[in-house]
């Protein structure tokens, strides 16, 4: 896992053709807004989270965020343990995100 500051995360993501964005917040949080093209898998699902994550392509580079950066750091650790090679945590999370956002 790498901890990336907001600007670094956004820049690296923009240049990464093998990127996948993972939002590990709850559905309620996602309804308030999210980073476009992100896949939501709620880390609070416990084993359900692990089951869903194990279906993902381990060769992709995962850019992971939550509300503040704590749950996404946990998610990065879990993915690392499951054999994912590149995980990037968004420091400060969605609360500090200044890039593009979307709402349902």
Does an H or E element contain 76, and which?
A: helix 70-81
Q: Is 64 helix (H, G, I), strand (E, B) or coil?
A: strand
Q: Does the active-site annotation cover 76? A: no
| Residues 29, 66: Cα–Cα separation, whole Å | 9
Q: For the CA atoms of the chain, what is the radius of gyration? A: 12
Q: Which one of 1, 53, 66, 79 is the catalytic residue?
A: 66
Catalytic residue numbers read: 66
């Amino acid at each position: 896992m790498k901890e990336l500051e907001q600007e670094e995360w956004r820049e690296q993501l923009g240049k990464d053709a093998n990127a996948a964005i993972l939002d590990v917040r709850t559905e309620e949080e996602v309804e308030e807004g999210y980073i476009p093209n992100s896949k939501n898998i709620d880390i609070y699902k416990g084993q359900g989270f692990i089951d869903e994550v194990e279906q993902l392509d381990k060769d992709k580079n995962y850019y992971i965020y939550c509300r503040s950066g704590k749950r996404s750091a946990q998610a990065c650790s879990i993915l690392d343990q499951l054999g994912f090679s590149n995980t990037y945590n968004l420091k400060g999370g969605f609360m500090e995100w200044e890039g593009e956002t979307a709402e349902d």
